[in-house]
Amino acid sequence: MTTSAPSESQLFSQRIKIHSKFFYNKGKKFYLQGVNYGPFRPRDSTNSYFPLAEEVRNDFLLMQKAGINTIRTYHFPPSWLLDLAEEYGLKILVSIPWTERYLYFSDSKSFNAFKQWILQKVKEYVGHQALLGYFVDNELPPDCIRFYGRKKIEKLISDLLLLIKNTDGEALVSYANFPPTEYFQPYPVDFYSFNVYLHNPKDLEAYLYKLQNLAGEKPLILSEFGMDSLRHGQDNQAWLLGEHIRIVFQSGLAGTIIFSWTDEWFTGGMEIEDWAFGLVTKNREPKKSYWIISKLFQGPHLPLCQRFPLERTPKVSVVVCSYNGANTLSDCLSSLRALQYPDYEIIVVDDGSTDHTQEILKKFPEVIAIHQANKGLGVARNEGIKRASGEIVVFTDSDCMADPDWLYFLVKTLLDKQYVACGGPNYSPIPKGLIQAIISLAPGSPSHVLLTDSSAEHIPGCNMAFWKWIFEKVGYFDPIFRKAGDDVDFCWRILFNGYQIGFNPSAIVWHYRRFTIKEYLKQQIGYGEAEALLRFKHPHYFGALGSAIWKGQIYEQNFNLFSLRKSSIYQGVFGTGLFQFLYPGKENYWVTLTRSFEYMMAASFLSLLFFTIEKTRLWFFLPFLPSLWSALSYIAQLKADPKKLRFTSKLLLFSLVVIQPIVRGITRHKRWFFSRKLPLAFPGNSTSLIPMIFTIQRPLILSYWSKTGQDRISLLKKIIEKLDEKACRYALDSGWDSWDIFLYADNFWDCPLLSLTEIYPRNERIIKIKLDAKPTSLHKLIFFVMLLTTCFLWVGVGQISLLATLPLLALLSFYLRIKQRRMFIKLMALIDQAAKEALLTKI
Query: What is the tens place of the pLDDT at every residue in 657-715?
Result: 999 999 999 999 888 888 877 877 777 554 455 566 666 777 889 999 998 888 899 99
In the predicted structure, residue 47 carries a pLDDT above the cut 70:
no
The angle subtended at Cα 456 by Cα 634 and Cα 520, nearest 5°, is: 40
Question: Is the confidence at residue 747, as pLDDT, over 90?
Answer: no
pLDDT tens across 300-318, in order? 778 899 999 999 999 999 9
Q: In angstroms, what CA-CA distances link 112 with 103, 104, 140?
A: 11, 8, 19
Tell me which of 353-357, 374-378, 445-449, 499-503 is least confident.
445-449
pLDDT at 791 over 60: yes
Mean predicted confidence (pLDDT) in 531-550? 85
- Position with higher pLDDT, 786 vs 218: 218
Contact 365/348 with Cβ under 8 angstroms? no
Distance of CA 198 to the CA centre of its chain: 27
* pLDDT of 1 above 90: no
| Maximum average pLDDT range among 562-571, 573-582, 654-663 | 654-663
Rounded-to-integer distance, Cα 392 and Cα 835, Å: 42
Architecture, CATH, for domain 30-307:
Alpha-Beta Barrel (3.20)
Query: Which residues make up the CATH 3.30.310 domain(s) of the chain?
Result: 686-777+814-842
Architecture of the domain defined by 686-777+814-842? 2-Layer Sandwich (3.30)
The phi and psi torsions of 35 (rounded to 5 degrees) equal -135, 155
- The SS3 of residue 234 is helix
| Least confident among 38-52, 457-471, 500-514, 820-834 | 38-52
Q: Is the pLDDT of residue 236 over 80?
A: yes
Q: Which residues pair with 700 in a beta bridge?
A: 771
Average pLDDT over residues 465-483: 95
Is 80 exceeded by the pLDDT of residue 811?
Answer: yes
Average pLDDT over residues 272-297: 94
Determine the pLDDT at residue 692: 63
Domain with CATH 3.20.20.80 in the chain: 30-307
Decide if 191 contacts 172 (C-beta within 8 A). yes
Instruction: For residues 505 and 501, give the distance between their C-alpha atoms in angstroms, rounded to a whole number.
Output: 13
Please name the CATH architecture into which domain 316-514 falls.
Alpha-Beta Complex (3.90)
- The mean per-residue pLDDT over the stretch 472-483 comes to 94
Other C-beta atoms lying within 10 Å of the C-beta of residue 240: 20
Gap between the Cα atoms of 211 and 325, Å rounded: 35
CB 407 within 8 A of CB 485: no
| Residue 37: per-residue pLDDT | 96
Contacts of 211 (CB under 8 A, 6+ apart): 192, 194, 196, 220
Model confidence at 838: pLDDT above 60: yes
pLDDT confidence band for 809 (50 / 70 / 90): confident
Q: What angle do CA 322, 328, 334 make, to 5 degrees?
A: 95
Percent of the chain residues past pLDDT 70, beyond the cut: 89
The residues of the chain that CATH labels 3.90.550.10 are 316-514
Say which amino acid occupies 291.
W
pLDDT for residue 582? 58
C-alpha to C-alpha distance for 281 and 279, rounded to whole angstroms: 7
CA distance 647 to 649: 5
Average pLDDT of the residues in 199-222: 93
SS3 472: helix
> Mean pLDDT across the stretch 801-825?
80
Residue 4: per-residue pLDDT: 35
Burial of residue 323, with CB atoms counted within 10 A of its CB: 0-12 exposed, 13-18 middle, 19 or more buried: buried
pLDDT at 822 over 90: no
pTM for this entry: 0.86
- Who wins on pLDDT, 620 or 253? 253
Rounded to an integer, the average pLDDT of 788-794 is 71
d(CA 507, CA 316): 15
Tell me what the pLDDT averaged over the chain comes to: 87
- What pLDDT sits at residue 5? 35
Q: Specify the DSSP element, H or E, that contains 270.
A: strand 270-271
pLDDT digits (tens, 9 = 90+) for 336-393: 999 999 999 999 999 999 999 999 999 999 999 999 999 999 999 999 999 999 999 9
Res 776 pLDDT > 90: no
